[in-house]
Amino acid sequence: MGRALAQPRGGEQVVALPPLPEFRKLVAANRILAHEGVVDAFGHVSVRDPRDSARFVLSRSRSPALVELADLMEFTQDGAAVDARGRTPYGERMIHAAIYAVRPDVVSVVHHHAYGVLPFTISDEPLRPVVHTASVIGAEIPVWDIRTKFGGTDMLVRSLEQGRDLAATLAGHTCLLIRGHGAVVAGASIERAVLTAIYLEVNAKVLLEALPLGVPEALSAEEIAKSSEAQFSPLALDRSWEYFCQRAGVDPG
Amino acid sequence: MGRALAQPRGGEQVVALPPLPEFRKLVAANRILAHEGVVDAFGHVSVRDPRDSARFVLSRSRSPALVELADLMEFTQDGAAVDARGRTPYGERMIHAAIYAVRPDVVSVVHHHAYGVLPFTISDEPLRPVVHTASVIGAEIPVWDIRTKFGGTDMLVRSLEQGRDLAATLAGHTCLLIRGHGAVVAGASIERAVLTAIYLEVNAKVLLEALPLGVPEALSAEEIAKSSEAQFSPLALDRSWEYFCQRAGVDPG
Amino acid sequence: MGRALAQPRGGEQVVALPPLPEFRKLVAANRILAHEGVVDAFGHVSVRDPRDSARFVLSRSRSPALVELADLMEFTQDGAAVDARGRTPYGERMIHAAIYAVRPDVVSVVHHHAYGVLPFTISDEPLRPVVHTASVIGAEIPVWDIRTKFGGTDMLVRSLEQGRDLAATLAGHTCLLIRGHGAVVAGASIERAVLTAIYLEVNAKVLLEALPLGVPEALSAEEIAKSSEAQFSPLALDRSWEYFCQRAGVDPG
Amino acid sequence: MGRALAQPRGGEQVVALPPLPEFRKLVAANRILAHEGVVDAFGHVSVRDPRDSARFVLSRSRSPALVELADLMEFTQDGAAVDARGRTPYGERMIHAAIYAVRPDVVSVVHHHAYGVLPFTISDEPLRPVVHTASVIGAEIPVWDIRTKFGGTDMLVRSLEQGRDLAATLAGHTCLLIRGHGAVVAGASIERAVLTAIYLEVNAKVLLEALPLGVPEALSAEEIAKSSEAQFSPLALDRSWEYFCQRAGVDPG
C-alpha cells in the first residue's frame, strides 16, 4: 500500500509537463469532476496535447480529487506513455487513446461512474436530455457492452482493440454509456467535456425522479441542437466554468 | 474563457449601485439560493428598484453563488441595461422585465432550475402544496411551454415577447414552471421570493417521495390561504431569513 | 426584518436561565437536530424544567441551528411565558405545553418537519419501525389532522385546545405525525427525544426506499420492545449522544 | 451520560496497543467508514491481531468517527477483552469473534447499518452486484435473520452462539445482510473490507434507482470473479485507499 501516494520515490521530483494553460485546466477539470461527484475514487479526464495533436495528456493512476500538475503524463494514440519515469498509468487509458485517434474534433475525454448515470447502464430505459441545461449531452446516447465482442472480462477497457470498439460505438456522439460500468463524455474543449459530464448526471437524476410520474416530455431534436449551442456560448460556458472552479477551489485559468 | 471573471478589465473599478438595504439583500438572496441548492451555475434573482419602480436590479451574467454588490446592474422594463459599462447581462433578463411590467405587486423575481422541481416540468403530475411550509407557493402553479407559441427554440426566454407570454401564463400566480427548463417565483419582497423558492423545492422533493405511496392528501384552498399568511408573518419570515442568512454566511441586513 | 436577530434591543443583556446541565443540553439538542437535518428554519425542542416540573423551557422564536443559552424562555403548562422580557415565543409552544400537562413521563419534546417523515403525513402508508435502531419510535405512530376538529386553519397548533387535542391523539405513544405538517417526538430525556427524532427520520428514508421493493418485513412487537430498551441502554445512548454532539460541534455536557 | 467520552476517568492514560501499521490503519478505517456514511453513531470495524492470529482488535464502544488509537482493545475469539482496563466493549463484538474463528482467510470485519443497504434487509429483492466497482461484494449475499433461531430478541448479536450462527450463514461469502438491522463485510485486509463496504453501499443505491426502470442487467459470474481481482489489484486498491484516506483526513499509513 501507499505506492500510489509515494510515487515517485527517491526525494527526486519528476520533471512535469510545462504549465501550459491546457494542463492547468486539466488539473482544474480533475478537481471539479471530483467536487461535483461525477468521479469518485475512480474515473479520469484527459486533454489532447496542444503541442502535438497525435498525443494526449492524462494523470498517472490517481483519484481525480488528488491530481496535481506533476501527475500529468503524455501518451501516444496507442496508449503508450511517452516518458513514464516510473509512474503507473490508468489501466483504462485506451478509452482516451482510441477516441482521440478517430475523432479529430475531440479535445477532451471524461470517463466516469457517476451514480445517477449508472442505473441507465443496466436498464433498457434510454438516457435522453429532458432539461435544457443537459441538451449538450446530445439527442442519442449509445450503450456499449464489453461482453458483446469480448465475452466475460474484468469489465475494464484494457486493450486498444477494446478501446477502438468502444470508440466505434461512440461514433459521432458526445456521450456513451458502458453497461454495468459507467460513461464516456467527449468534448471539443476541457470546459465542454466537464460541463457535459456534470449535466449528464443532473439530467440522469432528474429523469430518475420523473419516470415514476409518467412518460417524461423530452426535448425535441431542434431544441437539443439550438439549446446545445446556447449552453456552449461564452455567456453560459464562462459563467458555469467560473462557478465550478470556485466551488472546487481551483483557479479558472 | 475567464471573460466573466475578469469583467470589467482595465484596473478600473465599476461604480456600483449605492449600497441600499435592498441591494445588499439582493446579494444575500443570490448567496442563499445558491447555498440551498435552488440555483446552481445558472438561475438569477432580481429586485424592483426602490428608487424607481419602473426599473429593476439584477446581477451581470454571473452564477448566484459569486454575486457581489459590484455585479448589480439596473434595467428598464424593456430589459435594457441603464448603465452597462461593458458588463454582460443575463440572457434571460426578459423574464424579470416582463413580470415587473405587469405585476405591480411583485418586488422580487427568482428564476431557477432546482433539481426537485424539474421532474414536474416534464410530467403531467401537478406540483401542488402538500406541506404547510410550502403553502406560500400557492394553490395552483401554471406550466409554460415556450414551444407552444415560439416553436423549436434554444429554450431560453430571450425576447421581451417571450417574456410577456410567460408573464401572461404566470398571471396572478406566485410560481410558474417552464417545461424542460425550470421555474419562476414572484414575491412581494426579496425575503418572500427567496423563501417561496426554497420551500417550492422542499415541497417538490416531499411530493416526489409521497407519490409512490398513493394519492397524497393536499392542503385545502382555505389552508393554503391561511397558512401562507402565517408563513409570511414576521414571526416565521424573520426566523427563516435569519436562518438562511446564517447558513449562507451573509449578513441578514 | 432583523427583528429576530436583534431581540432584545437596547444594549442590555437578557438575564438568561441559570446554566443548569439540562439547559446546556437543550442548546446542544437544538444544534444537533439542525445539524442532522431533522429541523430546518422551523421546528423546536423543549425540556421540562428540572426546578419545577409544572413548567418547561423552550427557546424564543429562533431557528434551532442558532439557539443559545440566552434564548431559552420558561413557560407554564398553559404556554404562558414566565418572564418574556420582550422576547417572542414560538407560535406553536402549545404542542409542548399540552404534552407536558398530561404526560408526566415526558421530559423532552421535539416538533419538526423532517423531509423523510413528511411523505408519511400525507399518505395512508403507516410509518412503522423496520430497522432496529429505530425501534425507539414505537410500534405505532398515530396521525393527527388539525382539520378533523378545527376545520380550515393555518395548520399551526396555536391554541391550548388544539394542543390538548394533539396530545390526546399522541396518548401514550412516543411519536405522532401531523398531516401535511410534521411530527412530534416525546422522550423521557433530552437525549432520548433527540435520538428518537433522528432515527424516526432514518427509518422513514429507509422505508421510502424499501416500499417499491415489496411489502417490507417489519420488526415484531417483541423486537420493538426489547430493541428499544437496548437502544436506550447507556451503552448505545452514550455512544450516539457523544457522536451527534461531536458532529454538531457542541459539548456533550 | 458522558461516560463514553470520559472513559477512562482518573487523569491516568490507558496504555494503548503499540502503534503497529495495522492498528493505525484500523483507526483510518473507522474514520473512512464514518466519512463515507457507511457507519453512523453505530457500526464497527476490526482487524485480526497481526501479533496473534487467534485474537482480534476492535475499538471500545465508541462511534467510528471518533475512534483513536487509545480506544483499541484486544479480544480473544470468545469475545473476551484481553486487557479491558475499565473500558466498555461493543455489545456486538461476537460478530467479529465468530467470523475470525471460522474464517482463517479473513483479516478484517466491518459491521454497519448503511442506509442504502437497509432496504434490502427487509425485502425479498436480492442485493446483487450490478456495477463493476462493486464486483468485490461477491455474486451472492446471504441474509441472516436472528428470529429464525433465536425468536424475539433485541435484534443484537450478543452471544457467541448467535455470532456463530451468523458466521455459519456467511459461510465463505464476503458480505451478509442482517434482517432489519444491517450488514457484515469480511475482507482479506483492512483496505479490502473497507472498500467492499463502501461499494456495497454504492451498488445498493444504484440498484434502488435502477429497479423501477425494469429488471437490471447483472454482472455475470465470470465478470464478478475477474472484476473483483481487478478491483483488488494494487492499481485500483492503492488509488482508492489514498482517495478515501484523503477525504477522511487520515494518514494512508
Name chain A contacts of B3, Cβ cutoff 8 Å. Answer: 234, 238
**Residue-wise pLDDT tens digits, B221-246:** 999 999 999 999 999 999 999 999 99
Crossing angle for the helix pair C234-248 and C190-210, to the nearest 10 degrees: 90
Residue D54: strand, helix, or coil: coil
**Is residue B94 predicted with pLDDT exceeding 60?**
yes
**Is residue B11 predicted with pLDDT exceeding 50?**
no
Query: What CA dihedral angle connects A138, A140, A141 and A142, to 10 degrees?
Result: -150
Judged by CB atoms closer than 8 Å, whether chains meet at D238 and A3 is answered as: yes
Burial of residue A125, with CB atoms counted within 10 A of its CB: 0-12 exposed, 13-18 middle, 19 or more buried: middle
Judged by CB atoms closer than 8 Å, whether chains meet at D213 and A120 is answered as: yes
pLDDT value at position D252? 79
Closest Cβ–Cβ partner in B41, B120, B154 for A226: B154
User: Which of D131, D222, D233, D247 is the best substitution to test chain A (most A C-beta atoms within 10 A)?
Assistant: D131
**Is residue C120 predicted with pLDDT exceeding 80?**
yes
Residue type, D163: G
Closest Cβ–Cβ partner in C5, C125, C180 for B214: C125
Q: What is the pTM of this model?
A: 0.95
Query: What's A36's DSSP letter?
Result: T
Nearest Cα to Cα of residue B63 among B36, B46, B41, B85: B41
Give CA–CA dist C16/C22, Å, rounded: 14
Residue percentage of chain D with pLDDT more than 70:
94
Taking residues D100-115, report their average pLDDT: 98
Taking residues B107-117, report their average pLDDT: 98
Higher pLDDT, C223 or C13: C223
**Is residue D151 predicted with pLDDT exceeding 50?**
yes
Given a contact cutoff of 8 angstroms between Cβ atoms, the answer to whether D129 and C219 are in contact is: no
**Is residue A12 predicted with pLDDT exceeding 50?**
no
pLDDT value at position B144? 98
Query: What's A135's DSSP letter?
Result: G
**Is residue A159 predicted with pLDDT exceeding 90?**
yes
Nearest chain C residue to B240 by CA distance is: C41
**Residue-wise pLDDT tens digits, C147-197:** 999 999 999 999 999 999 999 999 999 999 999 999 999 999 999 999 999
pLDDT value at position B6? 36
Query: What CA dihedral angle connects D72, D76, D79 and D83, to 10 degrees?
Result: -50
Please name the helix (run of DSSP H) or strand (run of DSSP E) that holds residue A198, with its range, or none.
Answer: helix A190-210
**Is residue D250 predicted with pLDDT exceeding 70?**
yes
Return the active site residues of C.
92
Nearest chain A residue to B66 by CA distance is: A243
Judged by CB atoms closer than 8 Å, whether chains meet at D217 and A180 is answered as: yes
**Residue-wise pLDDT tens digits, A43-78:** 999 999 999 999 999 999 999 999 999 999 999 999
Give strand ranges (E) for chain B: 44-48, 55-59, 72-76, 108-112, 143-144, 175-178, 182-187
Nearest Cα to Cα of residue C191 among C49, C33, C16, C65: C33
Averaged confidence pLDDT in chain D: 94
Name chain A contacts of B177, Cβ cutoff 8 Å. Answer: none
Give strand ranges (E) for B66-115: 72-76, 108-112
Nearest Cα to Cα of residue D29 among D69, D2, D61: D69
Residue percentage of chain A with pLDDT more than 70:
94
User: Which of D31, D123, D162, D177 is the best substitution to test chain C (most C C-beta atoms within 10 A)?
Assistant: D123
Closest Cβ–Cβ partner in A88, A118, A124 for D214: A124
Residues D4, D10, D14: CA angle, nearest 5 degrees: 70
* Nearest chain A Cα distance for residue D52, angstroms: 22
Report phi then psi at C195, rounded to 5.
-65, -35
* Neighbouring-strand partners of residue C47: C57, C108
SS3 percent helix, strand, coil of chain C, rounded to 5, is 45, 15, 40
Give CA–CA dist C44/C39, Å, rounded: 8
Give CA–CA dist D198/B197, Å, rounded: 35
Provide the residue count of chain D.
253
pLDDT value at position B14? 56
Query: What's D179's DSSP letter?
Result: T
Judged by CB atoms closer than 8 Å, whether chains meet at A244 and B41 is answered as: yes
Q: Are strands A182-187 and C108-112 parallel, antiparallel or unpaired?
A: unpaired
User: Which of D38, D61, D111, D122 is the best substitution to test chain C (most C C-beta atoms within 10 A)?
Assistant: D122
Give CA–CA dist A94/A100, Å, rounded: 10
Closest Cβ–Cβ partner in C209, C230, C243 for D154: C230
* Nearest chain A Cα distance for residue B58, angstroms: 15
**Is residue B12 predicted with pLDDT exceeding 50?**
no
Closest Cβ–Cβ partner in C132, C213, C223 for D119: C213
**Residue D15 binned pLDDT confidence (cut-offs 50, 70, 90):** low
**Residue-wise pLDDT tens digits, B25-42:** 999 999 999 999 999 999
Name chain C contacts of D124, Cβ cutoff 8 Å. Answer: 213-214
Judged by CB atoms closer than 8 Å, whether chains meet at D230 and A91 is answered as: yes
Given a contact cutoff of 8 angstroms between Cβ atoms, the answer to whether C181 and C147 are in contact is: no
Taking residues C107-135, report their average pLDDT: 98
Chains that touch B (3 or more CB pairs under 8 A): A, C
**How distant is the alpha carbon of residue D87 from its chain centre?**
21
Give CA–CA dist A244/B42, Å, rounded: 11
Give CA–CA dist C199/C204, Å, rounded: 8
Give CA–CA dist D84/D88, Å, rounded: 7
Q: Which of D22, D36, D74, D92 is catalytic?
A: D92
Whole-angstrom Cα Rg for chain C: 18
Q: Which of A36, A74, A92, A191 is catalytic?
A: A92
Give CA–CA dist D72/D51, Å, rounded: 14
Closest Cβ–Cβ partner in B133, B218, B223 for C153: B223
* Neighbouring-strand partners of residue A85: none
pLDDT value at position C55? 98
**Residue B15 binned pLDDT confidence (cut-offs 50, 70, 90):** low
Given a contact cutoff of 8 angstroms between Cβ atoms, the answer to whether B75 and B89 are in contact is: yes
Give CA–CA dist C113/B131, Å, rounded: 9
pLDDT value at position C252? 79
**Is residue A1 predicted with pLDDT exceeding 90?**
no
Given a contact cutoff of 8 angstroms between Cβ atoms, the answer to whether B124 and B190 are in contact is: no
Given a contact cutoff of 8 angstroms between Cβ atoms, the answer to whether A42 and A62 are in contact is: no
Give CA–CA dist C165/C99, Å, rounded: 10
pLDDT value at position B253? 65
Judged by CB atoms closer than 8 Å, whether chains meet at A246 and B66 is answered as: yes
User: Which of C232, C242, C246, C250 is the best substitution to test chain D (most D C-beta atoms within 10 A)?
Assistant: C242
Closest Cβ–Cβ partner in D42, D123, D151 for C216: D123
Give CA–CA dist C132/D156, Å, rounded: 8
Contact residues, chain C to chain B, C-beta under 8 Å: 1-5, 40-42, 61-63, 65-66, 88, 91, 113, 115-116, 118-125, 147, 151-156, 179-182, 208, 211-212
**Residue A15 binned pLDDT confidence (cut-offs 50, 70, 90):** low
Given a contact cutoff of 8 angstroms between Cβ atoms, the answer to whether C239 and C144 are in contact is: no
Residue A39: strand, helix, or coil: coil
Residue percentage of chain A with pLDDT more than 90:
92
Judged by CB atoms closer than 8 Å, whether chains meet at D181 and C244 is answered as: no
CB pairs < 8 Å spanning A and D: 125
Given a contact cutoff of 8 angstroms between Cβ atoms, the answer to whether C192 and C237 are in contact is: yes
**Residue C6 binned pLDDT confidence (cut-offs 50, 70, 90):** very low
Given a contact cutoff of 8 angstroms between Cβ atoms, the answer to whether D176 and C215 are in contact is: no
**Residue D247 binned pLDDT confidence (cut-offs 50, 70, 90):** very high
Residues 6+ positions from B225 with CB-CB distance below 8 Å: none
Name chain D contacts of A147, Cβ cutoff 8 Å. Answer: 220, 223
pLDDT value at position D14? 56
Judged by CB atoms closer than 8 Å, whether chains meet at C239 and D155 is answered as: no
Taking residues D136-153, report their average pLDDT: 98
pLDDT value at position B181? 98
Judged by CB atoms closer than 8 Å, whether chains meet at D242 and A4 is answered as: yes
Name chain D contacts of A41, Cβ cutoff 8 Å. Answer: 239-240, 243-244
Query: What's B128's DSSP letter?
Result: -
Nearest chain D residue to C209 by CA distance is: D119
